[in-house]
Amino acid sequence: TTATERRDARQEIEESCELLRRKREIEGEFDYLRRQMIRNGGV
> Looking at residue 23, what is its pLDDT?
98
31 neighbors 37 (Cβ within 8 angstroms): no
Residue 41 confidence (pLDDT): 86
Which is it for the CA torsion 4, 6, 12, 10, positive or negative? Answer: negative
- Distances in Å between the Cα of 15 and the Cα atoms of 7, 8, 23, 30, 43 are 12, 10, 12, 23, 35
Domain limits for position 11: 1-43
Residues 6+ apart with CB under 8 A from 43: 37
SS3 34: helix
Q: How many structural domains comprise the chain?
A: 1
Residues 1-43 pLDDT 10s: 788 999 999 999 999 999 999 999 999 999 999 999 999 886 5
